[in-house]
Amino acid sequence: MNWLGNNLDLILQLSIEHVRLSILPIVLGFVVSIPIGWVAYRFKLTRGLLLTLAGLLFTIPSLALLVILPPLLGISALSDANLTIALTIYAVAIMARSVADALGSVDPAVRQSATAIGYGSWRRFWAVEFPLAGPVILAGLRVAAVSTISLVTVGILIGTESLGYLFTNGYQRRIIVEILAGVVMVVVIALVVDYLLVLLGRLLMPWTRKQKLVRPQLERLTLATGAGGME
Amino acid sequence: MNLFSEAMAWLFAPERYTGGDALQTRIAEHLFYTFVAVLIAAVVAIPLGYFIGHTGRGREIAIGVSGAARAIPSFGLILLLVLLIGVTQKPLAAIIAFVLLGIPSILAGAYSGLEAIDRRVIDAARAVGMTEWQILWKVEVPLGLPLLIGGLRSATLQIVATVTLAAYIGLGGVGGYIIAGLALRRFDQMLGAALVIVALALVLDGLFALAERLVVPRGVAAGRTSDVRKRSPRARAVAESSAK
């Protein structure tokens, strides 16, 4: 137990680093998955293709992806960029599907009404379809965020320091508490971020607050995309 | 100097297939750990999932567990269990970790498969006099099979990926080449092994995708349309107006 008391600074510092490494892939994944999800939703032909590709990317084990990306992109294997790109790919693989599903869940009558009162397709998308698809997109974002935060730890194998450092260091020094501290901190960060996303969703989409209809949808989606996951 | 051709050279070198460190041995180890873990996880999770799906009891707990499980870093879990159970029992500790990681997906697949069934179908089964066991075996299990296979698929892929990481503790498997390669800076070896792992994952994924289609009961498959999306309002309007 002594280890814990002596290393609170280290845990805090690694946690901050962990959060820093997690944010970029989550944000990038969200931004990239919107156009991809839209294309998948809009055109029948690309739907199968894009969603199958996303599914296949998601099946690639993380350690293998971290080894394959550097020669493919010409970056160093031992760089933060490698981990960021790999995690962004996973995030897009999760979220592209939920964006496509979310846009598909918007009532066609609403879309038609927006067109009828003169919305162009660009403004209709941002002002009507995107907000209405919001709850389902948020569900995908939550899954992606939690799995990204947990996956960051794998980066320690290619030398990217995060809470994963506590795993390898604790294993080498045979300190159970050190590994446990790492696991607990990762779970805590994941749960806090998940909670913040829910809060953000309520803030940005106040109309979902009392709607019970959204819940089963969220759960189904979580099951479909999130039950698996790569590590 | 192309790293991919070097990786191919590494992959197809004759010495890769002889000796104690032969590729086929490593692949066999990888698959062995995966299948044992998926099997044990299935034995635990399927009955539990069916119980939850059939009775509707414990549903909230199951959703909570599968949600929280995603946050647990599997690499940390393996190392933690190895130290807890003992470094002399590495395979046992690793398999326990794999099983724990596989259970949530299979549990979710089993109960959501039952839950997704139209309630009227179950009511009809009850109305024609089926017992609860008959309803479970003759109605719910066959109809829920595609989603259950989907759960097994996620679990298998998750475990394949985690077995790769478990090479860090010296468990073997194809990931061993990557871990050894990292220390030696042998990028050809790492890349070659990574490609093998990707191929392994894709083949298993493909087999499960095939199984998911094959287990759809004939009566259900017949009534299914190819496009599950709603047709666009415009196309529908055109079709309706031309039908008049």
* pLDDT, mean of residues B38-57: 93
Lowest mean pLDDT across A5-14, A193-202, B167-176, B223-232: B223-232
Residues 6+ apart with CB under 8 A from B220: B143
pLDDT at A194: 93
Please name the amino acid found at residue A131: P
Mean pLDDT score of chain A, rounded to an integer? Answer: 87
C-alpha B180/C-alpha B176 separation (Å) is: 6
Q: Is the pLDDT of residue A229 over 50?
A: no
Lowest mean pLDDT across A124-138, A217-231, B202-216: A217-231
The string of pLDDT tens digits covering residues B1-38 is 588 888 888 888 888 888 778 888 899 999 999 999 99
Q: Where are the beta strands (DSSP E) in chain B?
A: none
pLDDT at A72: 87
Grade residue B161 by pLDDT with cuts at 50, 70 and 90. very high
Q: Is residue A95 within 8 Å of B241, Cβ to Cβ?
A: no
Residue located via tokens 């995107």: A130
Residue located via tokens 């829920």: B144
Grade residue A220 by pLDDT with cuts at 50, 70 and 90. very low
Grade residue B231 by pLDDT with cuts at 50, 70 and 90. low
| Residue B46 CB neighbour total at 10 angstroms | 20
Q: What sign does the CA torsion over A95, A100, A101, A107 have?
A: positive
With beta carbons under 8 A apart, name residues in chain A contacting B101. 231
B203 burial (CB, 10 Å; 0-12 / 13-18 / 19+) is exposed
* pLDDT, mean of residues A170-176: 92
pLDDT at B82: 93
Longest alpha-carbon distance in chain A? 69
pLDDT at B13: 84
Question: In percent, how much of chain A has pLDDT > 70?
Answer: 90
Residue A162 phi/psi, 5° resolution?
-150, -160
Tokens of A231: 């590590």
Residue located via tokens 């996956």: A151
pLDDT at A219: 47
Residues 6+ apart with CB under 8 A from B187: A71, A77, B3, B6, B7, B181
* Residues making up chain B, counted from first to last: 244
As a 3-state breakdown, chain A gives helix, strand, coil percent values, each rounded to 5, of: 85, 0, 15
Q: Is the pLDDT of residue A224 over 70?
A: no
pLDDT at B61: 85
Tokens of B148: 């259950």
Q: Is the pLDDT of residue B86 over 70?
A: yes
Q: Which of B166, B189, B162 is nearest to B178 (CA)?
A: B189
Nearest by CB to residue B191, choosing from A68, A150, A194, is A68
pLDDT at B64: 82
pLDDT at A55: 86
Angstroms from A31 CA to nearest CA on chain B: 22
DSSP A129: I
Angstroms from A175 CA to nearest CA on chain B: 8
Torsion of CA B164, B170, B176, B180, to 10 degrees: 130
| Residue A5 CB neighbour total at 10 angstroms | 8
Tokens of A16: 């901050």
Q: Is the pLDDT of residue A223 over 50?
A: no
Q: What's the pTM value of the predicted model, to 2 decimals?
A: 0.84
Q: Is the pLDDT of residue B42 over 90?
A: yes
For chain A, counts of helices (H) and of strands (E): 11, 0
With beta carbons under 8 A apart, name residues in chain B contacting A183. 72-73, 76-77, 80
Cα–Cα distance list, B133 to A71, B109, B122, B142 (Å): 56, 20, 12, 13
Estimate the crossing angle of helix B187-214 against helix B3-12, to 10 degrees. Answer: 80
Angstroms from B96 CA to nearest CA on chain A: 16
> B199 touching A, CB under 8 A?
no
* pLDDT, mean of residues A49-58: 88
> B65 touching A, CB under 8 A?
no
Grade residue B224 by pLDDT with cuts at 50, 70 and 90. low
B216 burial (CB, 10 Å; 0-12 / 13-18 / 19+) is middle
- Chain B residues 224-243 within an 8 A CB cutoff of chain A: 227, 229-230, 232-233, 236
Q: Which of A179, A16, A44, A148 is nearest to A86 (CA)?
A: A148
Higher-pLDDT residue of B156, B187: B156
Nearest by CB to residue B160, choosing from A61, A68, A168, is A61
pLDDT at A46: 84
Residues 6+ apart with CB under 8 A from A227: B66, B104, B105, B108, B109, B151, B154
Q: Is the pLDDT of residue B236 over 70?
A: no
* pLDDT, mean of residues B96-116: 92
**Contact B63/A219, CB-based, under 8 Å?**
yes
Q: Is residue A75 within 8 Å of A84, Cβ to Cβ?
A: no
Question: In percent, how much of chain A has pLDDT > 90?
Answer: 58
Higher-pLDDT residue of B14, A182: A182
C-alpha A4/C-alpha A22 separation (Å) is: 24
Question: In percent, how much of chain B has pLDDT > 70?
Answer: 90
Lowest mean pLDDT across A7-16, A43-52, B96-105, B159-168: A43-52
C-alpha B231/C-alpha A68 separation (Å) is: 40
pLDDT at B22: 87
Q: Is residue A186 within 8 Å of A153, Cβ to Cβ?
A: yes
Please name the amino acid found at residue A138: L
- CA-based angle A48:B151:B52, to the nearest 5? 130
Residues 6+ apart with CB under 8 A from A133: A99, A102, A103, A105, A106
DSSP B230: P
* Residues making up chain A, counted from first to last: 231
Q: Is residue B67 within 8 Å of A222, Cβ to Cβ?
A: yes
Cα–Cα distance list, A186 to A63, A137, A231, B89 (Å): 19, 24, 14, 26
With beta carbons under 8 A apart, name residues in chain A contacting B227. 44
